[in-house]
Structure 1
Amino acid sequence: MKHLIIGNGPAGVIAAETIVGHAPQDQVVLLGDEPEPSYSRMAIPYLLMGNITEQGTYLRKDPQHFSSRGIRLEHGRARSIDTAASIVHLADGRGLSYDRLLLATGSSPVAPPIPGMDSPGVHTCWTMEDARRIMQLAQPGARVVQMGAGFIGCIIMEALAARGVDLSVIEMGDRMVPRMMGAGAGNMIKAWCQHKGIKVYTSTRVNAIEPGTPLRLTLSSGEVVEADLIISATGVKPQIDIARDSGIHCKDGILVDATMQSSVPGIYAAGDCAEAFDQATGHTVVSAIQPNAAEQGRCAGMNMVGRALRMTDVPQINVLDTLGLISTSFGRWDGVPGGEHAELIDVPAFRFLRLEFEGDRLIGSNAVGHTQHAGVLRGLISQRVRLGAWKDRLKEDPTRLMEAYIACAQQQEVWRHAS
């Protein structure tokens, strides 16, 4: 059996290792389109900070790791899939055949339609080559403007701040991290960043970028901001063109079932490019976080070698360190129609906790500064624990999460074993 994996990020690497671990006689080809060893994009900010070297970003540190396991590495960009002939055509004219195919193509930065986005000095922070260019320009005292304050943007922001630049952040949403935090948590993170000396603009758009030295950004407020370097961190989207063009069913991502198989038998998808059904929310979702990529890669690899494994939930977990302030977002943090919530705010201490309920279940949460509750929040939400009378107790005091978990989750576990 020949397995071809397009994409050598976390999902692709773990899938390849899973396949050879359970079917060592099978052939595995791992295709990457960058001239780098397999690395973690989430480690790039730590490279910018100087905490690690480029080798520290590598997913596997041993240069012989893949070859010693019989995994063949190939470099090239996949252009199209002939699903009838089971061949992937590359941009350089080569064709790679397969019996099982995994699409682990990840995601790519979204380029906002702003005049001047192609100016010299405007960069994304997504690839290793991006990081090298940014490190040359983001010197102490340099005026840096970052567009976007989402999850990835906040991680990049921290790395830039550590380099001693004069940093401004512009976010079109009405708060920071608007896709994982509600108004209370997002605005508290904004206040924290301002407290740390970063200029933060929310509900603000960049209307145009004027090239030159310095670059000049015209904002929707009419203000003009000068910069020596502009970082675009305005979000990412799943890389699914090759799948859609090949007739594989897609929505926002490549639609997969609980085994990670797509609408075409023998073709699987995992990681940032995959859209899977989430039993907890009742609809399909793309979860562009590394833990999800790892789990889906393992699930796909198992099923590609005939070992039945199913994923019925899609991890929706974000833990963010913003200049030393830890925040978390779990599950349906934005609540559901008709749902109830509980909220606890301590503005001077930069502490915030909001719980979202549906019936007597906790379905989502936002927390800032409440690190001691992270594991319990995850357990209550992911296990869909029925709280009973503890729901009202949590509405009165949201910090009683550990008591609720012990009283409800463990008791229900005993009942399941007894039955």
Structure 2
Amino acid sequence: MKHLVIGNGAAGVVAAEMIRKHAPCDSIMLLGNEPGPSYSLSLLPRLVSGDIGESGCHLRSESDHFYRLRIEQRFGRISRIDSKAHKVLMEDGVAFGYDRLLIATGASACIPTIPGIHSPGVHACRTLQDARRIVALARPRAHVVLVGAGLTGCVLMEALAARHVHLAVIEQNERMASNMMPAGAAGMLKRWCESKGVRICTSTRILAIERINQGMAGGPRLVARLSNGECLFADLIVCATGAQPNIGFLRGSGIACTQGILVDASMQTSVPGIYAAGDCAETFDAASGRMVIAGVLPNAVDQACCAALNMIGKSAFQHHVRRIEVLATMGLVTSSFGEWHGLPGGQWVEASDERNYRYLRLEFRKDVLVGANAVGLREQHGMLRDLVQHQVALGEWKDRLLRNPAHISDAYRACVRRHGGANADIADQDIMRSTMQDMMRGQASPETVAAIAYRTISNAARRPPPARFGNPS
């Protein structure tokens, strides 16, 4: 069997290794568009902050890792996929055949349409080269403008602040992190960042970027003209305005796409034998009843393992999408879980401690916690995640929480005990989460993460599969 994996990021690498583990005689090719070692996109902010060097971003530390696993590496840009001929055609005219294909091409930065946005000194942070350019210009006391205060923007804010720059953040929405938290939590986050010396401008757009004279370190001096009439001078402008799946090369392939590549519970696309995983894949979320792109690392690893097992003839299914965002910004931890914005006909409750930067909001549908937001409550993240993700029936605890959401810990313990204590899925995913965090700190290998993900996926595979592609209900 000949396997071709497009994309050498986290999803592609984990999938290739999983195939090799369970199919030692199969042919595997890993195709990337950036020559050099495979690296983790999620670690680029730590490279910007100076916490790690470039080697710390590498997914595998040994230079001969793929050679020893007999995984062939190739680099180049894809022109198109001929799904009928089972070939991937490259821009240089080379074609690669396959029996099974995995598309794990990730996503690219969404660059806003602003005059001057492509000027020297304006960068996104989606590639290793982007991070290098940012580091070169973000010298101490440099003036930096960060465009976007969503999830990526907040992560980059902390990384840039660690470089001791003068930082201003421009966000066109009325609040920060509008895609993961309500106004109360977002307002608290804004006040916290401002207390740390970062200027936050919400409900503000950049109308144009102009280049003037030389800035610090010989870099370009830029001026950003804002919708509020101000002009901000900058040595560096960083764009964190979202991402879009890399699927342009799929036109004419017959592979169904909307925002991303549509996949079923086995991660197979509309074309048999072709799979997708990671930030380019759009999958059904049973909790919300919608197709979603769940662009976070744990989902990418889960999906890659699931796709790999199906590519070699085993049976595995993704039953859940981890709709979890945990964000550390300037030392303040915020989080969102599931349907944090609520559902029609549902009930909600919130509690806040403005002085101590603590906030909790719970969203219910009947007696099930379907979503939550938390600020400054790190110790309750695991409880909120489990209750939301596993749709635990709260019974009488729902009314108690509506009266006082601070009882969430008591509710969790009571409901877990009532449902038999240690739920196997919760236990597996607790281990997966903690091991993933260890990997991000450099204390656990990606191989360990893949092994635990395989166990989690294998356990899930023992349950009856949901509907196939095209009929998610």
TM-score by structure 2 length? 0.86
Match status 1:385 vs 2:392: yes
CA shift, 1:114, in A, is: 0.6
For structure 2, the 5+ residue unaligned runs are: 214-220, 425-473
- Match of 1:295, SS state, is helix
- Match of 1:234, SS state, is coil
Deviations 1:368-392 (A, max 9, x none): 1011110000110111001111001
In structure 2, distance between residues paired with 1:242 and 1:389: 53
Match status 1:271 vs 2:273: no
Note if contact 2:416-2:422 (Cα within 8 Å) is conserved in structure 1: no
User: Residue in 2 aligned with 1:300?
Assistant: 307
Mapping of 1:112-191 within 5 angstroms?
112-191=112-191
CA shift, 1:126, in A, is: 1.2
Change (3 A) 1:139 1:415: closer
- Match of 2:336, SS state, is strand
CA shift, 1:237, in A, is: 1.1
CA shift, 1:415, in A, is: 12
Match status 1:346 vs 2:353: yes
Q: Read off the aligned partner of 2:292 and give its amino acid letter.
A: V
In structure 1, distance between residues paired with 2:24 and 2:212: 56
Match for 1:290 among 282, 293, 297? Answer: 297
In structure 1, distance between residues paired with 2:423 and 2:185: 36
Q: Read off the aligned partner of 1:409 and give its amino acid letter.
A: V
For structure 1, the 5+ residue unaligned runs are: none
User: Residue in 1 aligned with 2:17?
Assistant: 17
CA shift, 1:212, in A, is: 2.1
Match status 1:36 vs 2:36: yes
Tell which deviates more after alignment, 332-341 or 399-408.
Answer: 399-408
Tell which deviates more after alignment, 243-252 or 378-387.
Answer: 243-252
User: Residue in 2 aligned with 1:410?
Assistant: 417
Tell which deviates more after alignment, 322-331 or 209-218.
Answer: 209-218
In structure 1, distance between residues paired with 2:148 and 2:287: 29
CA shift, 1:79, in A, is: 1.4
In structure 2, distance between residues paired with 1:166 and 1:76: 38
In structure 2, distance between residues paired with 1:351 and 1:297: 36
Identity %: 52
CA shift, 1:410, in A, is: 3.2
- Match of 1:211, SS state, is strand
In structure 2, distance between residues paired with 1:320 and 1:238: 22
User: Residue in 2 aligned with 1:252?
Assistant: 259
* Number of equivalent positions: 417
Change (3 A) 1:79 1:54: same
Note if contact 1:244-1:250 (Cα within 8 Å) is conserved in structure 2: no
User: Residue in 2 aligned with 1:236?
Assistant: 243
CA shift, 1:36, in A, is: 2.5
Change (3 A) 1:205 1:18: same
Q: Read off the aligned partner of 1:34 and give its amino acid letter.
A: E
Note if contact 1:4-1:30 (Cα within 8 Å) is conserved in structure 2: yes
TM-score by structure 1 length? 0.97
Deviations 1:283-307 (A, max 9, x none): 1110111111010000000100011
- Match of 2:212, SS state, is coil
Q: Read off the aligned partner of 1:132 and give its amino acid letter.
A: R
Q: Read off the aligned partner of 1:36 and give its amino acid letter.
A: G
Deviations 1:190-224 (A, max 9, x none): 11100000000001111111122331111111111
Match status 1:194 vs 2:218: no
- Match of 2:319, SS state, is coil
In structure 2, distance between residues paired with 1:93 and 1:13: 25
Q: CA RMSD in A?
A: 1.4
Deviations 1:111-136 (A, max 9, x none): 10111111111111111111111111
User: Residue in 2 aligned with 1:84?
Assistant: 84
Note if contact 1:258-1:310 (Cα within 8 Å) is conserved in structure 2: yes
List structure 1 segments (4+ residues) > 4 angstroms apart after TM superposition: 414-417
In structure 2, distance between residues paired with 1:77 and 1:415: 47
User: Residue in 2 aligned with 1:327?
Assistant: 334
In structure 2, distance between residues paired with 1:334 and 1:309: 31
- Match of 1:257, SS state, is coil
